């Protein structure tokens, strides 16, 4: 592996199975506008949520090494499934700060609902079945049991650009039924694709606080960078570069949908 000397001006590495992690990049752009970003979308191997954790961990380590070789000073695992599968492994091997989206999401949910409140979770089947949010919320003092629903179709709908509105509405009604049967105060959007469905979910569950883990994730990363003297200075010029293991044209359409621009450089990576 090629070693790169990192500094405060080095980029932040971010990765996800596809488009969802761009919601984290959106928060980075808003909350840390001076930070440069390297983003890897593993669209050639998505979805992650239906794959064994061991395979997702293998993919995650491979991508982390790719981003490290390109000078990433920190790593955001912008995927709940990959966080559950690989956070510990990447913390042990990546030289800079590493953060996943699960702990920040759980913290935000408890803050939104209170320890006596009711919390729901929508995520991929892999994240739901891992029980990782149950454990985090219990550690944080949540008293009630988590109401959970796997939503595998959501990832496919987002990756296709949310073009089939009828299919989106049908999936929303189907997957939100458990939260009508067991009402919650806060709902964790436990996949980074899901904030792109917020308007639909709010229409179906009015009054429920939606928790986007990306916001707290970026806030926590900022603190980690400050502690290590790695926060980019105010005069730094942010640069964004994207890598994609699948169809780059389709990914550029989703860049436009999430970030409002499709003119960022996108490089295809063939594994």
> Hey, which CATH number is domain 102-213, 3.40.309.10, 3.20.20.210, 3.40.50.1860, 3.40.50.720?
3.40.50.1860
Q: What is the mean pLDDT of each run of 10 residues along the chain (271 residues)?
A: 77 96 96 97 93 95 97 97 95 96 97 98 92 96 97 94 95 98 98 95 98 96 96 91 97 95 94 81
What pLDDT, on the 0 to 100 scale, is given for residue 3? 55
Cα–Cα distance measured from residue 30 to residue 247, given in angstroms and rounded to the nearest whole number: 27
Cα–Cα distance measured from residue 60 to residue 45, given in angstroms and rounded to the nearest whole number: 11
Instruction: Work out whether the CA dihedral 63, 68, 69, 71 comes out positive or negative.
Output: positive
What pLDDT, on the 0 to 100 scale, is given for residue 5? 81
Task: Enumerate the active-site residues.
Answer: 79, 191
Cα–Cα distance measured from residue 115 to residue 86, given in angstroms and rounded to the nearest whole number: 28
Q: Which two tokens stand for residue 185?
A: 């105060």
> Hey, which CATH number is domain 12-100+215-268, 2.60.40.420, 3.40.50.1860, 3.50.50.60, 1.10.150.130?
3.40.50.1860
What pLDDT, on the 0 to 100 scale, is given for residue 234? 85
Question: Which residue's structure tokens are 């979770």?
Answer: 121
The H or E element spanning position 53 is: helix 53-69
Measured in whole angstroms, the distance separating CA 142 from the mean position of its chain's CA atoms is 23
């Amino acid at each position: 592996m090629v070693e790169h000397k990192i500094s405060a001006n080095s980029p932040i590495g971010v990765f996800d199975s596809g488009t969802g992690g761009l919601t984290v990049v959106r928060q980075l752009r808003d909350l840390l506008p001076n930070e440069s970003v390297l983003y890897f979308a593993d669209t050639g191997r998505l979805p992650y949520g239906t794959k064994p954790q061991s395979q997702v961990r293998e993919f995650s380590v491979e991508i982390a090494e790719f981003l490290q070789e390109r000078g990433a000073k920190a790593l955001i695992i912008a995927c709940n499934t990959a966080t559950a599968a690989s956070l510990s492994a990447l913390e042990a091997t990546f030289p800079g700060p590493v953060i996943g989206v699960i702990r920040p999401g759980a913290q935000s949910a408890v803050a939104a609902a209170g320890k006596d409140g009711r919390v729901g979770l929508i995520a991929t089947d892999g994240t739901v079945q891992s029980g990782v949010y149950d454990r985090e919320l219990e550690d944080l003092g949540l008293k009630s049991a988590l109401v959970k629903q796997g939503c595998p179709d959501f990832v496919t709908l987002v990756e296709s650009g949310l073009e089939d509105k009828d299919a989106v509405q049908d999936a929303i009604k189907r997957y939100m039924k458990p939260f009508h049967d067991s009402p919650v105060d806060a709902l964790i959007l436990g996949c980074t694709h899901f904030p792109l469905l917020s308007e639909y979910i709010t229409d179906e569950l009015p009054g429920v606080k939606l928790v986007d883990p990306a916001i707290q994730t970026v806030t926590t990363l900022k603190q980690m960078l400050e502690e290590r003297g790695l926060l980019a200075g105010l005069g730094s010029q942010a640069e964004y570069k994207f890598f994609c293991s699948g169809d780059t044209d389709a990914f550029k359409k989703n860049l436009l949908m999430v970030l409002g621009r499709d003119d960022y450089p996108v490089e295809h990576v063939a594994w």
